[in-house]
Amino acid sequence: MVFAARPTRCLAVDPMHPNAAVIREAGNVLRRGGLVAFPTETVYGLGANALDARAVADIFYAKGRPVDNPLIVHIDRAESLRDYVAEIPPVVPQLAARFWPGPLTLVIRGGEKFAPGVTGGLGTVAVRVPAHPVALAIIRAAGAPVAAPSANASGRPSPTTAAHVLDDLAGRVDLVVDGGPAGLGVESTVLDLTGERPVILRPGGVTRQELEPVLGPVELDKSVLGEAAGGRPRSPGMKYTHYAPRAPLFLFEGGDGSQLAKRILEEAERLAAAGHKVGVLACEETAALYRGKGYHLVVVGRRSDPGTVAASLYESLRRFDRLGVDVILAEGIPCDGVGLAVMNRLRRAAGGNIVAVCTDDSPDPGISIYKP
């Protein structure tokens, strides 16, 4: 079956007290097998009825998503998991009591009752209960679990506003429910519970430090900071370039704010002299160092408070597209708390373009914005 272009409607709701008629309409679209984008407390999701194989297949067409990249199923309460999964690990109710509704996705065995695209044939399924009144109301109105990846075109930065969704997916989804900006700004933490030890496949809103008191030691999958050397990533989504703005992004990391700024300014000057339109992604603490030099500066939050960086990260990356820069030089932040999720997304957006800033005086070779 060919994916048909479709008119996209956009309906606004109050995020805390969503209009009942809009929610009913979103539920009806999902019941009929349509696609509905809606806000969650992480980013906007692109939802389909997780039991409807054709609707789930349409998610992949609409996003241009590789078919081997499975989807997260959103349910409205932990108890409904029993309707779909035969064996629930004993730790799930504990985690659910502490973190649901919230930005924690659990990967467990089973999931055969869901449409095949949901599990990607892995024999495991990823599930969570979102903490957003609009998302919860839509799941209830659909009367079914809702499969929902982020509502961006595959490879692009995730959407944190309805406008981002429309930029990527207008004409490809039936309805966008606009509930204002999504909260956290980065996606959920994906935690694999299928092995001997719990493993974070994707860092997100719930941190390792928050999980360990409940679970004991939690491992970080090697792919989290881009260290996976060959082999098959355990979270299929982690092998694709992702979160990327249109211009190449170079991520500078390793030093403190002023060391990063010093190194970025050297490169910016060199690139600008060569005629490139240079974008700089900087934190509030160092922003003043870049002003008045003709660079396109986007300030992304406070280095000392990674939550503020997470909240504006994707909008900031998309802003560079609108500015039409040729290259982006980005400051890294410390990997503490939700900073790990931010650095995971920035490293993925950078591809291999990571510049380790030397904190001693050894010369470093400089960057080339065109790869050989």
Residue nearest to ligand AMP (CB): 237
**For the range 16-23, what are the long-range contacts, defined as Cβ-Cβ under 8 Å and sequence gap of 24 or more?**
16/133, 17/133, 18/133, 18/134, 18/137, 18/177, 18/179, 22/177, 23/134, 23/137, 23/138, 23/141, 23/177
Which residue lies nearer to Mg ion by CB, 243 or 295?
Answer: 243
69 forms part of the interface with Mg ion (CB under 5 A): no
237 forms part of the interface with ligand AMP (CB under 6 A): yes
Residues 129-168 that bind ligand AMP (CB under 6 A): 149-150
Rounded Cα distance, 43 and 105, in Å: 14
150 forms part of the interface with Mg ion (CB under 5 A): yes
Q: Which stretch binds ligand AMP (CB under 6 A): 64-72, 81-89, 289-297, 299-307?
A: 64-72
Which residue lies nearer to Mg ion by CB, 150 or 316?
Answer: 150
Which of ligand AMP, Mg ion, none has residue 81 at its interface (CB below 5 to 8 Å by kind)?
none
Where does 5-50 show beta strands of DSSP type E? 9-12, 36-39, 44-49
Residues 165-204 that bind ligand AMP (CB under 6 A): 187, 190, 201-202
CB of 229 to ligand AMP, least distance (A): 19
Map residues 66-95 to x or -, x wherever contact with ligand AMP holds by CB under 6 A: ---xxxx-----------------------
Q: Which stretch binds Mg ion (CB under 5 A): 97-105, 144-152, 159-167, 220-228?
A: 144-152
Q: How far is CA 296 from CA 12, 160, 197, 250, 353, in A?
A: 32, 22, 45, 15, 19
Which of Mg ion, ligand AMP, none has residue 271 at its interface (CB below 5 to 8 Å by kind)?
none
- The site for Mg ion, by CB under 5 A, has a size of 1
- The site for ligand AMP, by CB under 6 A, has a size of 20
- Per CB under 6 A, the list member of 12, 122, 214, 354 interacting with ligand AMP is 122
DSSP 371: -
**Ramachandran angles phi, psi of 361, nearest 5°:** -100, 10
Rounded Cα distance, 214 and 347, in Å: 29
Rounded Cα distance, 168 and 163, in Å: 9
Report DSSP letters for 324-369, one per residue. T-SEEEEE----STTHHHHHHHHHHHHTT-EEEPPSSS-------S
235 forms part of the interface with ligand AMP (CB under 6 A): yes
Q: What is the CA radius of gyration of the chain?
A: 21
Which residue lies nearer to ligand AMP by CB, 15 or 117?
Answer: 117
Q: Which stretch binds ligand AMP (CB under 6 A): 118-126, 136-144, 301-309, 359-367?
A: 118-126
Taking 3-state DSSP, the helix, strand and coil percentages for the chain, each rounded to the nearest 5, stand at 35, 20, 50
Binding-site ranges for Mg ion (CB under 5 A): 150
Binding-site ranges for ligand AMP (CB under 6 A): 69-72, 107, 119, 122, 124-126, 149-150, 187, 190, 201-202, 235-238
